[in-house]
Structure 1
């Protein structure tokens, strides 16, 4: 059985004569955590924006579950089950954790503006929201506004609001960036749990923080794929190490 769920074929993006991404081929296997990494300027964010349809490619194709989604809009792709975390700026700072998750659930169910819905349906939303909050270890923060949350907890809330959309493939944009060591460990463990029944593609700068998290790592350099494989393979690649020289890659906890 062919287990590729998301695929890029010859993906290329040019900006006024500058080639930011050049003929990138990428295959994300169903049920895995796949990290897209590289030093600054490697083209990670551009590839991510192409895959999530926030940028149109100059050339190449994107396939989701074998379907060509190259010309589709981000919202339509999200409805298919390919959801980018933090794409909605994810949280409303002055709503509570519970309210944020409930809004995301309402959006998924298409009931955002159906305030006259039966109370039983709101109760069901409340139960699901509570379960999602528990899943990301935010139960003690349920009644706090998003603005009050520490940075790492805010990212956990963003993951909860993404989970509310019930994605089949979840795309995380530098979920560990700017975190201290404790937050990195907690969020990495959360990503691992979340990946139990879905596929995750994450963009990350730091090789060391995805070492024990990812099944497959694709390393980009200057818009091209430099290396790919499990951490044990890419971490021994001389070109990968050279590309990362001086970027603080080996210092665990730096993002």
Structure 2
């Protein structure tokens, strides 16, 4: 485990806190097909928790359940001590549980600064000023620029979001997620489709923005998981196969077997970690 991860978990091991996000018997069936089966997940506050598994393991379905884009067939979801199982996605977001998506979701024709300003408008309630005077939005400039500084995009403030390289678009998405002042961030494959240089940039970015927050992330790149995550939950065929620190989980024979026959590079990484 990395020094960063060790430092993050130092205050947790001595006395575990109540989970910030917890599922009990979480199950999702689609016409007889069980995509997620009896998943008990516990994410501790102030940690980075990884959700991994081979293709088709149920990771994205689990994320969709947690953020209420799907309703569970059975089971419950608790966030910050509150049962949120039947709440709507917008209500979940207002509680501070904010998700970014695997496919970058930015307003391509708007500038980088404008994208962040629009996200900051959450505090205005339902008033999103796409068509009104610039005046109400200028008040957000300073905060938006501070967020762009945090994610290394200040120099791109006037560029259109659609013109950014893929890795920078993902950084912009993280900035807009931060603009919503999340207590907990759910990151769906934050390094998917990136070059090695972009991966390194996003890893450092996630480390920075995770300070003082809780992060749950689905990630296919095991080197990223090893370097970032305090705890890892491994799913296979919709069920929890193993959970614990990367050093422990990566040596679990059942976990290694679950990765064999998928991506050879990933299987090798897991087997020889």
1:210-238 Cα deviation digits (max 9, x unpaired):
10100011000000000101110111111
Question: For 2:140, what is the secondary structure of its paired residue?
Answer: helix
Q: 1:233 — aligned with what?
A: 248
Q: 2:80 — aligned with what?
A: 65
Q: How does 1:1-255 map to 2 (within 5 A)?
A: 2-86=17-101, 90-110=105-125, 111-113=127-129, 119=135, 122-246=137-261, 247=263, 248-249=265-266
Pair 114,99 (structure 1): closer, same or farther in 2 beyond 3 Å: closer
Pair 82,88 (structure 1): closer, same or farther in 2 beyond 3 Å: farther
Deviation at 1:112, TM superposition (A): 1.8
CA contact 1:38–1:220 (8 Å) conserved in 2: yes
Gaps of 5+ in 2: 1-15
Deviation at 1:80, TM superposition (A): 0.6
Deviation at 1:204, TM superposition (A): 1.3
Backbone CA RMSD of aligned residues: 2.0
Deviation at 1:140, TM superposition (A): 1.4
* TM value normalised by structure 2: 0.87
Deviation at 1:3, TM superposition (A): 3.0
Report which stretch shifted further, 166-175 or 83-92.
83-92
Pair 241,69 (structure 1): closer, same or farther in 2 beyond 3 Å: same
Deviation at 1:251, TM superposition (A): 6.8
* TM value normalised by structure 1: 0.93
Deviation at 1:117, TM superposition (A): 8.6
Question: For 2:190, what is the secondary structure of its paired residue?
Answer: coil
Q: Distance in 2 between matches of 1:95 and 1:195?
A: 27
Q: Distance in 2 between matches of 1:206 and 1:238?
A: 19
Runs of 4+, deviation exceeding 4 Å: 114-119
